[in-house]
Amino acid sequence: MNILNSGRFSMGGACAGMIKKLIGLTAEYAGTRKQFDKSLSEFGMIQEKFALMAQKAFVMESMAYLTAGMMDRPGVPDCSVEAAMVKVFSSEGSWLCVSEALQVLGGLGYTKDYPFERYLRDCRILLIFEGTNEILRMYIALTGMQYAGKVLTGKIKEMKKGNIGVVMEMFGKKLRDSFTRKVDLGLTGNDGVVHPSLADSTKKLEENVHYFGVTVESLLYRYGKTVVDEQLVLKRVADIVINLYAMTAVLSRASRSISIGLRNHDHEVLLANTFCDEAFFKNNYSMAQLEKDAPENNDDSIKKIAQQVLEKRSYICSHPLDRNF
């Protein structure tokens, strides 16, 4: 297991390094290639691709850095979940970044005279080896929910014994959650550990963490042990956890950089805040999908489509020209 952890964790640094190199090569092309009397680098949609690549590299590197610090602690710390999260985020981020780079490069990206087509070929395996991302998502979600399940089981046992204190605690918690969305985990403010320039993003992390806990508790009440069979549910849980870990990593890194005065720390703060904004809304949407009878959730339709296709072992819709009248 330690060998697998090492391979998965190291993918963060390797992918970040590859994307940095790719950004340099692609930026050089975008700055010199002319279209419509402008450099490619002047077009908004091209700039968006470079912003995405820079953001992904920053997040991967931050996650790898944070995980390395955890693995360097005395003893033999269990960082298997963190390593899996680094692997999933980095492999999928790399594949997306290479695809965007080739979109900038156009036909040039496909020629063997340049290294870009090899980047594309080599990147695809990252989602498969060291454990497929589908398996790792199940591992991330179920490992975390296993702990939450033990806590919840303990509370249920106390309730069955007639422990009024536990009952009132859980009732009060649900009541507070239904009336307020203000969450303060102590990361900001006078006694906080995060730099003030990152306060808004930190508040978003705190809110996501709190309501994710509420969501997981709700899922365990709803499914119990059968949650292991709800793969689409577990996939969303894993995606939220990965985003939360990534948000933690970038906020920690950017806060450190600005506090000790690292070069271009303002750029790190910009990247961290941008990523946290996007991750916050993605997490909220995923948690909305996980609510009971949520209109945003179309899992039943997805399963039905897949079942009909797999029964026939083919695409089953008629061709639009099967009847021409």
**254 close to 260: Cβ distance less than 8 angstroms:** no
CA–CA dist 304, 236 (Å, integer)? 19
Q: Answer yes or no: 296 catalytic.
A: no
Closest CA to 101 of 38, 18, 36, 176: 18
SS3 190: coil
> Which is the catalytic residue, given 130, 207, 217, 268?
130
Strand partners, 35: 38
CA–CA dist 86, 4 (Å, integer)? 12
Distances (CA, A) of 172 to 77, 158, 160, 222, 297: 35, 16, 18, 20, 28
DSSP assignment letter at 34: E
Tell me the catalytic residues.
Answer: 130
